[in-house]
Chains A and B, each alone.
Chain A
Amino acid sequence: MRVMALVRRILKQIVRDKRTMLLLIMAPILVLTMLHLVFNGDSYSPKVGVVDLPTSLVEQLDDHEATINLYETTNEAKTALKERDIDGYVSMSGTTLQLTLEGSDPTINGETMKWLQEALKSLQPDSSSTMLKVNYLHGSSEMSQFDSFGPVLLGFFIFFFVFLIAGVSFLRERTTGTLERLLCSPLRKWEIVVGYVVGFGIFTMIQATIIASYAIYVLGMMMEGAFIYVLVITLLLSLTALTLGVLLSAFTNNELQMIQFIPLVIVPQIFFSGLFNLETISDYLSWIGPLTPLYYGADALRNVMIRGYGWGEISFDLLMLAGFSLLFMVLNILALKKYRSI
Chain B
Amino acid sequence: MNPIVQMEQVTKHFGKQEVLKGISLDINEGEIFGLLGPSGAGKTTLVKQLVGLELPSTGKNKVFSILMPSLEVISKIGYMAQSDALYGELTARENLQFFASLYGLSGARQKERIQACMEIVQLTDHIDKQVSNYSGGMKRRLSLAIALIHEPKLLILDEPTVGIDPVLRKSIWDSFYELKKQGVTIIVTTHVMDEAEKCDRLGMIRDGHLIAVGTPVSLKESMNSTSLEDAFLSYGGAN
Q: In the complex, are the beta carbons of A180 and B81 less than 8 A apart?
A: yes
Q: Could you tell me the distance between the alpha carbons of A278 and B104 in the complex, rounded to whole angstroms?
A: 52
Q: Which of B51-59, B164-172, B188-196 contacts A (4 or more CB under 8 A)?
A: B51-59
B-facing mask of A176-220, CB < 8 A → 1, else 0? 111011111111100000000000000000000000000000000
Q: How far is the CA of A185 from the CA of B85 in the complex (A)?
A: 13
> Hey, what's the 0/1 contact readout for B55-81 against A, CB within 8 Å counting as 1?
100000000000001110011010101
Nearest B residue (CB) for A187? B102
Cα A183 to Cα B81 with chains together (Å): 12
**Is A64 located at the chain interface by the 8 A CB criterion?**
no
B70 contact set on A, CB distance < 8 A: 342
Instruction: Report the bound CA distance from A64 to B51 in whole Å.
Output: 75
Would you give 9 A-B contacts (Cβ < 8 Å), ordered by A?
A180-B85, A181-B81, A181-B99, A184-B51, A184-B74, A185-B102, A186-B71, A186-B75, A186-B102
Within 8 Å of chain B (Cβ to Cβ): is A56? Answer: no
Q: Given contacts A184-B77, A342-B52, list 6 more A-B pairs with CB under 8 A.
A: A176-B86, A178-B85, A181-B146, A184-B74, A340-B52, A341-B69
CB distance from A175 to the nearest CB of B (A): 9
From A180, A186, A187, A188, give the contact of B53 (CB < 8 A): A180
Flag if B69 contacts A184 (CB, 8 Å). no
* A339 contacts the other chain (CB 8 A): yes
Contact with A along B2-14 (1 / 0, CB 8 A): 0000000000000
Q: Per a CB cutoff under 8 Å, which of B75, B77, B83 touches A176?
A: B83
Contact with B along A217-249 (1 / 0, CB 8 A): 000000000000000000000000000000000
CB contacts (< 8 Å) of B173 on chain A: these are none
Closest to B48 in A: A180
| Contact (A340, B69) CB under 8 Å given A177-B85, A184-B74 | yes
Closest 10 CB pairs of A and B: A181-B85, A177-B85, A186-B75, A177-B83, A185-B102, A184-B79, A178-B85, A342-B69, A184-B51, A186-B71
Contact between chains at A185 and B69 (CB < 8 Å): no
Which listed residue (A177, A182, A340) contacts B102, Cβ 8 A?
A182
| Interface set of A (CB-CB < 8 Å, partner B) | 176-178, 180-188, 339-342
Known: A180-B53, A339-B53, A342-B52. A186 touches B74 (CB 8 A): yes
Min CB–CB distance B175 → chain A (angstroms):
21
* Complex alpha-carbon distance, A326 and B97, angstroms: 30
State how many angstroms separate the Cβ of A250 from the closest Cβ of chain B: 16
A7 CB → nearest B CB, Å:
30
Q: Which residues of A contact B75 (CB under 8 A)?
A: 185-186
Please give the distance in Å from A182's CB to the nearest CB on chain B.
Answer: 7
Assembly CA distance A152 to B207 (angstroms)? 58
Considering only CB atoms, which chain A residue lies closest to B87 in the complex? Answer: A178
Which residues in window 93-135 of B have CB below 8 A to A? 99, 102-104
Chain A residue at smallest Cβ distance from B77: A184
CB distance from A112 to the nearest CB of B (A): 54
Report the minimal beta-carbon distance from B60 to chain A, rounded to whole angstroms: 14
A181 touches B71 (CB 8 A): no
Q: A341 and B55: CB pair below 8 A?
A: yes
Q: Which residues of B contact A178 (CB under 8 A)?
A: 85-87
Report yes or no: A185 in contact with B86, Cβ–Cβ below 8 A: no
Measured between alpha carbons, how far is A178 from B79 in the docked complex, in Å?
12
- B178 at interface (Cβ–Cβ under 8 A)? no
Question: Whole-angstrom distance between the alpha carbons of A340 and B52 in the complex?
Answer: 7
CB-defined contacts of B87 to chain A, threshold 8 Å: 178
Q: What's the Cα separation between A249 and B52 when bound, in Å? A: 23
By a CB distance below 8 angstroms, the chain B residues around A341 are: 52, 55, 69
Q: Which residues of B contact A185 (CB under 8 A)?
A: 74-75, 99, 102-103
Interface check B18, CB cutoff 8 A: no
CA–CA, A177 and B103, complex, Å: 18
B221 CB–A CB distance under 8 Å: no
Q: Are B53 and A183 in contact (CB under 8 A)?
A: yes
Tell me, in angstroms, the Cα distance from A342 to B75 when the chains sit together.
13
* Bound Cα distance from A248 to B103, whole angstroms: 29
- B84 on the A face (CB < 8 A): yes
With both beta carbons as reference points, the residue of chain B lying nearest to A186 in the complex is identified as B75
Residues of A near B74 (CB, < 8 A) are 184-186
Which residue of A has the minimal Cβ distance to B82?
A: A177
Kindly state the separation between the CA atoms of A108 and B230 in the bound complex, as whole angstroms.
85
